[in-house]
Structure 1
């Protein structure tokens, strides 16, 4: 029996094993069979989503949904479906035994498909944009205590260079978008300024001229954007390339800045109230190490000894009349004060599902670091009203902003310079009786400028009304109308006490009155058409523009008032003279259109065109056409890249080419103009006619690559651009014998701006911790490509072909002569005569690299935000205008490096009052020796905020914040501010604290 059992077992076990293996093979074979898997994908509103990518993990197999959101793919039960679509959260779904799916995708509001970007006449998203558009939101703007909203953009945008040229409240910052395009670069000339559009309404971007200390080459005048409230701005978009700007035609040649104010939100909601209050203080962040009294007296005595001269009361009051033991820190005395700043903003929003509004008011007050009662005040009000009909066909949007600022300043153009050059033992500012101390006219009291008081008042109204009606679901008619009104009134009073009392017998008090007005209206009817055929999508618009602008200016000087109390009352002046009384009108008309095409949300084509007409040209040259083509290819949506989706989430190639123009010149330049002569009623010519000059042309080319990694948590953008501006509109200089200094004309010169822009951003979230970081780097290059006949023209001393426009023609500095102790420069012609032909060095003062690095860390209710700005550039190093040894202070470092004995290898020439030393110093200041590296790395902003748990009090949010600006600057520059080398007041170091409440 045992043997039988053994035999049965020996036969059965192999048979059972074979049966098991056969069944396993059959099961494996069955499980590896691919089945057809179908499904339908919708959004949360049950609307089908076409173009969704469906792929198998660890495989190159993939497909997309059709117009009904349906898909079909072959898969095994072991496969996993990867569902991805830009703007929605990705999904991973195991197949298993399921052959049919119904999938609902959730929108990802942090993704690139959901952020709406204002492209001017239409909206787009980061995924769909074919042009170069930079964007900054309210979060980055509203907490900065700045007067001008452009100042809040410093270091935050690639290709956008912004310089705050002075710390005086109300001055205009300098801005360039991808370099200087025009040869016209004088102050107040809008030839290189971008187009400003506020809620769809363009405004004149040129700063207002001013009699006070707000106007010079360094401070830039009064900016029309000062009347805006930064706390009421929702976003600022900057349009840079041809695709983004060509739809604005001639107005977009230098880029476009779109400023959008805050709007209400639809839906039934209770009234919401938000308030913001802040206060703070500012100081000059850096002061110079100037020579002290003991070394100064020694230096002056050494200068007289070197010259073999004897000090007298006229040439050496500091040695013979002033106290040689006295010391005053003039920097601390004249601009060492603390500027206080206060801001209050209140916003109210609410409404119903069909009608909603947003109302905001703001107040800002800022004092000065100068001694005296100088201050800046601004009051703003904003209203936004939106309404739509119940059938969603009719929509109305009204936005109005009003701003009024009052700037009480003084003529401080040389005030900071005085603080840096006054002798440390100069007399006291006031006498014992409190009067200005003139010390027997042995010096010029810098406080005399305080007597020349000025007050500028600027008011601006900007309003826009937009009406739209959906004729069909695909066709919409829209009408946009805007109106702007800006008035500026300035009064400068110069009393007798402004002068040295010794001159009072011949001095005359006077008042200066300047009144300016800018008034414009614009009407833009449009038609918008959108439709979809399968995977083909069309978005088109056509419209026209009618604009009229009127500028007025009236400048009057009243001289000879019997009493200083009557200053400003023109009826009490002995003599009146009008220095300017002009009215200029500008008319502009255009037709524009756009066709936007995309196929399967992967291939995008954008065509824009505009036909412009401007009254600034003669009848035969009045019209011109501009246009651009832009395209984008989203590679990451191709099926052959689906296997990389977990790593390379987004990849897009885009490019654009097009042309824009410029008519940014004065009005009536093509006409003969005349002015009335005083008295007899005659006329005299003021301008030569030239009816044949025409538009500047700006041709722009750009190529870009945009990448997103790790579910778009890490982004990289790279752009290369080339802009060429030709047919330059300039005032061609004429010989004085003609009776005119220039005539408006075109020059056959071409200016080229090329450059690289790099952007990187990351957004990481883990539990209560959140980190956002962004980096932008710009590497611009500017050069004059061609200028036929340059050497024979009046511009031969200003430009060189192949060199940047912003160059200085300089002598070559060869150091201090060890024997004579004087500065020396290279004599190229070896003839002993130094003329302009000896200036062989071309120093480029253009920024070679600039950018910013921003980080924001959030943990729970605590947030830390900071921005570093960095710039690589050359500029004029700081040297006091006073040569060593003459009356006036110098840097302590220059005192230590001075030449003293024959054979010395010194960096600063010998102390001397002689003519030879003065000439040598003058040549040195026209050489490359005066220039140095003025690069800097600056902590532009630092903010710390905490959200208090105030929900139980009925407060939606309560945030306390601390904000710092210009806190730290790392630089080798030895002057006040490397951002604006020179002797203007630098941007202040500000520290503010505030509270923000939302009810």
Structure 2
């Protein structure tokens, strides 16, 4: 096994080195005069004229009418309808390929008889780029809605697991928070803010190749995943063609209730056009990852000085029972517990391969990938993913019938600690002079820990193991039939299935030997299954009317989701080796076994009119029916209107503003809904009594509660300057979500704590979005592009009548954002007691929510990103800076003076108790209460703003002509970095999710190569 591992490592290292050496070797003889190096070229030049042939394409299809000239002459030709060309050349000629809207390509012949080329589009976002609007596609310059897009090229080589992580810093209005650095962990995504009072009511709609999947994270496994496992984690990132995010009413209303919080459209790659020979693509990379930030904590001597000061202040002498850290533990010993518990290095490797091709009527793409990633924790933990994908497209010879089939399959496995979320907390609180974790013989050290309040921290790591394995399938079949001129029938049929099997083995060896005998080996097995199907028949109509074009769409949706959850635990295994078999347990309990079905039906329509390619109007409507509501409120209507005017096409603009190459005004208004609530909440519910033949009610019926409504308004202007070398987009939006679906609290006399109901509360999200792109330099050899986006959100609870009578009285305040903290007013250190003091506002001698009068916004004030792409010949350099302005909680540190560590900044300010603004070190009850109140006051918040070098990429494309002689169309070497540098004044652990006990995003560096055969 070790030899195989060594051989694998050698191959991983040797292949990139060989290619890199080859890339430097080829130019020496390919471009040097004959005989200068004493090396013959790898081909024999053909001096006489001969015929060279090939095919010219863009990324997806052949390009007819491409102008192909012999450089320096007037001789040339044009490509035909299939992109093919033929031209008589000599071996010393150079061909120039040019086409309107595409970058000119110059290639030396060098004796080649066949030369296929791919032209890259020059189109900017305000030209001919098409974006996916869900049920239809539209040119970016003609869209009436707010849609942001990133291409697969920006995603495929990033060493990440979730495609949502690739959106960070790249899209205005889209905030993605990676609160956990464990691979597979679900990030938090908010599209234009939080609309619902319920955290589970704010997930956007995910659609993959036309098939919606359940967007809520998968929970029920290890609590190391604080937000659950990402349902998109099993996707192959290298198979993604593009990700579009729909934001405003015009873009989302056609999805009705499902689009209330925005829509994320993921499109996978397809075969590259027809009449193409089979092409093979492959890339591989490997690298390392470490935790991107650790806290600066006190050393042993600083810790001991704080502890001794506490004893002196409390007026007592140390004893071995209470002060073992001062009398029994090594006073000169030091351990960096962050390094021990999560200071490891994660190894990352990824391999991806795909083949594509086709004939005159059919194209295909078949691919697969393998991703392996370790963790930074001790033990044998890691993440593995294997994916496969198939895409087939067939068009009949008469072009009337089209079939499109897509299949994506993924299997992933996560091995992490089970129920050990306090591991991070232990690492930043355990005293630095705590005993070693291992004995000299390599066994766990328990003897030096038995008399302390701490357990050996590695016991929980090594003896609480878990495996979470997922299987995901997403399949879609699209059928399109051209009935007659202007009218097409199409249908979309999709199926998804996600199953996750979790097994946790909790050995009693995690406990110290003194209590181990009375403990049990415990096994927990959880099975979670999500499946869904969808059928969407549609009629599409297009007709030219006068100087404009009318587009119509009429369709319906039939969808059903089914969730199954089973949780079983066993205890009393005779030996640890039997824990994997529940039948060997002395006691088995079924903690949860439920099956939930959700049905959704709808009819939808769209009508768009384009007049002279200057004036656009788009009307959408949808009537939804959801099984989550009672019979009285099961259906609801949603609609939107959007319009735009390309005013730069007006003659007076062209005459008086010649520098303005593009100008568009657009706006939209509409209503979307939200049904993201628990199923069957409108029904009466009962449970069996402990005794026989009895039932007692657990849920009250309410057949009249109905949909949340989100009214969306937007106005925007888009400008292009200097032939679209500079593009500016400015958007203002206002979303108001009302009729909030919550559990309405009831008096205890009713026997129920709450009933599902609509509260007359309105949440408003208002803000500005700025998007700026510029083509700074565009020469034959050098190209520099810049992309900038900025979002300034403003979230507010607009109104909430009688909020004081609800359970939300201690959570929200009318007129303030939802992301607020209600805190005590800090009054400094009491000079008499030396303890922190906060204000008792009502002077009743108690501290409760009536005294929490300080309101702090912990949401983002603004966020965005700055991306630069620079290319010079075959060299490309790219970097993305992400920035966020927000406040957050400091990491909670224990009472100074107790047996827990402190930050180095605290010690610097404390300096042996001489700072009157720092509470004295003490272990007393009063000191503990004062310290807790301090961390519930305004002093617990800090500026957690940051600027992060999110991604950095460097790649080199080897010269194409020599590669083609050895069967390679292209080869690129690349170096990729993630989360390399973070600039911040925040001294906590995770600046992205301040105050949380989760490891931050990993800092990773990968090296790889990409091949095209």
Normalised by the length of structure 2, the TM-score is: 0.86
Pairwise CA distance, 1:366: 0.4
Which structure's CA Rg is the greater one? 1
Q: Which residue among 455, 461, 466 is the counterpart of 1:444? A: 455
Determine the structure 2 residue equivalent to 1:150: 164
**Compared CA separation, residues 117 and 722, structure 1 to 2 (3 A):** same
Pairwise CA distance, 1:673: 1.9
SS at match of 1:897: helix
SS at match of 1:640: helix
**Compared CA separation, residues 491 and 736, structure 1 to 2 (3 A):** farther
Q: Which residue among 306, 320, 324 is the counterpart of 1:299? A: 306
Provide Cα deviations, 1:594-650, integer angstroms capped at 9, x if missing partner. 000011110000000000000111111000000000000000001111125641000
Determine the structure 1 residue equivalent to 2:971: 958
Determine the structure 2 residue equivalent to 1:812: 825
Q: Distance in 2 between matches of 1:800 and 1:828?
A: 18
Determine the structure 2 residue equivalent to 1:707: 719
Determine the structure 2 residue equivalent to 1:428: 436
Q: Distance in 2 between matches of 1:493 and 1:433?
A: 25
Provide Cα deviations, 1:138-170, integer angstroms capped at 9, x if missing partner. 111111010101011100000000011111111
Q: Does the CA-based 8 Å contact 1:818-1:905 persist in structure 2? A: no
Moved more, 292-301 or 715-724: 292-301
Provide Cα deviations, 1:792-837, integer angstroms capped at 9, x if missing partner. 2221111111011111110011222344321111222234332211
Q: Does the CA-based 8 Å contact 1:253-1:698 persist in structure 2? A: yes
Where structure 2 has 5 or more consecutive residues not aligned to the other structure, the ranges are: 1-62, 66-98, 104-119
Q: Distance in 1 between matches of 2:1004 and 2:102?
A: 42
Provide Cα deviations, 1:667-704, integer angstroms capped at 9, x if missing partner. 10100123445784654433221111000000000000
- The 5 A counterparts of 1:975-990 are 975-982=988-995, 983-990=997-1004
Determine the structure 1 residue equivalent to 2:185: 171
SS at match of 1:226: coil
**Compared CA separation, residues 986 and 308, structure 1 to 2 (3 A):** same
Provide Cα deviations, 1:337-382, integer angstroms capped at 9, x if missing partner. 1000000000100011210001110110000111111010000001
Provide Cα deviations, 1:392-421, integer angstroms capped at 9, x if missing partner. 110000001001100000033011111111
Pairwise CA distance, 1:952: 2.7
**Compared CA separation, residues 610 and 976, structure 1 to 2 (3 A):** same
- The 5 A counterparts of 1:917-936 are 917-936=927-946
Moved more, 934-943 or 676-685: 676-685
Q: Which residue among 686, 690, 697 is the counterpart of 1:674? A: 686
Provide Cα deviations, 1:428-484, integer angstroms capped at 9, x if missing partner. 112234332232241211112121100001111000000001111200000110000
Determine the structure 2 residue equivalent to 1:119: 133
**Compared CA separation, residues 678 and 501, structure 1 to 2 (3 A):** farther
Q: Distance in 1 between matches of 2:296 and 2:650?
A: 63
Q: Distance in 1 between matches of 2:878 and 2:1009?
A: 16
Q: Does the CA-based 8 Å contact 2:208-2:267 persist in structure 1? A: yes
Q: Which residue among 934, 944, 968 is the counterpart of 2:954? A: 944
Q: Distance in 2 between matches of 1:440 and 1:236?
A: 54
Please tell me whether residue 371 in structure 1 is matched to residue 370 in structure 2: no
Provide Cα deviations, 1:272-329, integer angstroms capped at 9, x if missing partner. 0000100000111222221111121121111000000222223211012211111111
Determine the structure 2 residue equivalent to 1:993: 1007
Moved more, 689-698 or 808-817: 808-817
SS at match of 1:642: helix
Q: Distance in 2 between matches of 1:803 and 1:419?
A: 36
Where structure 1 has 5 or more consecutive residues not aligned to the other structure, the ranges are: 1-43, 47-84, 90-105
SS at match of 1:295: helix
Q: Distance in 1 between matches of 2:657 and 2:513?
A: 82
**Compared CA separation, residues 138 and 579, structure 1 to 2 (3 A):** same
Number of aligned positions between the proteins:
895
**Compared CA separation, residues 319 and 252, structure 1 to 2 (3 A):** same
Please tell me whether residue 343 in structure 1 is matched to residue 350 in structure 2: yes
- The 5 A counterparts of 1:576-725 are 576-644=588-656, 646-676=658-688, 680=692, 682-725=694-737
Moved more, 434-443 or 401-410: 434-443
Provide Cα deviations, 1:500-519, integer angstroms capped at 9, x if missing partner. 21112321111111001111
Q: Distance in 2 between matches of 1:336 and 1:214?
A: 16
Q: Does the CA-based 8 Å contact 2:455-2:511 persist in structure 1? A: no
Determine the structure 1 residue equivalent to 2:32: none
SS at match of 2:232: helix
Q: Which residue among 215, 239, 251 is the counterpart of 1:205? A: 215
**Compared CA separation, residues 686 and 581, structure 1 to 2 (3 A):** farther
Q: Distance in 2 between matches of 1:977 and 1:714?
A: 36
Q: Distance in 2 between matches of 1:205 and 1:971?
A: 32
Q: Does the CA-based 8 Å contact 1:86-1:113 persist in structure 2? A: no
SS at match of 2:490: strand
- The 5 A counterparts of 1:869-888 are 869-880=882-893, 882-888=894-900
Q: Distance in 2 between matches of 1:88 and 1:332?
A: 52
Q: Does the CA-based 8 Å contact 1:614-1:623 persist in structure 2? A: yes
Q: Distance in 1 between matches of 2:930 and 2:125?
A: 63
- The 5 A counterparts of 1:761-776 are 761-763=773-775, 764-776=777-789
Please tell me whether residue 385 in structure 1 is matched to residue 392 in structure 2: yes
Q: Does the CA-based 8 Å contact 2:182-2:225 persist in structure 1? A: no
Q: Distance in 2 between matches of 1:134 and 1:111?
A: 10
Determine the structure 2 residue equivalent to 1:911: 921
Determine the structure 2 residue equivalent to 1:403: 410
Determine the structure 2 residue equivalent to 1:61: none
Please tell me whether residue 195 in structure 1 is matched to residue 209 in structure 2: no
Q: Distance in 2 between matches of 1:277 and 1:533?
A: 52
Determine the structure 1 residue equivalent to 2:77: none
Q: Distance in 2 between matches of 1:113 and 1:972?
A: 42
Q: Distance in 2 between matches of 1:363 and 1:676?
A: 49
Determine the structure 2 residue equivalent to 1:545: 557
Moved more, 596-605 or 759-768: 759-768
Q: Does the CA-based 8 Å contact 1:108-1:114 persist in structure 2? A: no
Q: Distance in 2 between matches of 1:228 and 1:111?
A: 27
SS at match of 2:457: coil
Q: Distance in 1 between matches of 2:983 and 2:617?
A: 45
Q: Distance in 2 between matches of 1:174 and 1:116?
A: 28
Q: Which residue among 805, 810, 816 is the counterpart of 1:803? A: 816
Q: Distance in 2 between matches of 1:407 and 1:733?
A: 39
**Compared CA separation, residues 495 and 678, structure 1 to 2 (3 A):** farther
Q: Distance in 1 between matches of 2:614 and 2:421?
A: 57
SS at match of 1:333: helix
Q: Does the CA-based 8 Å contact 1:455-1:492 persist in structure 2? A: yes
SS at match of 1:565: helix
Determine the structure 2 residue equivalent to 1:556: 568
Moved more, 328-337 or 722-731: 328-337
Moved more, 794-803 or 272-281: 794-803
Pairwise CA distance, 1:88: 9.8
Q: Does the CA-based 8 Å contact 1:441-1:502 persist in structure 2? A: no
Q: Does the CA-based 8 Å contact 2:125-2:140 persist in structure 1? A: no
Pairwise CA distance, 1:551: 0.5
Determine the structure 2 residue equivalent to 1:788: 801
Q: Distance in 2 between matches of 1:878 and 1:375?
A: 27
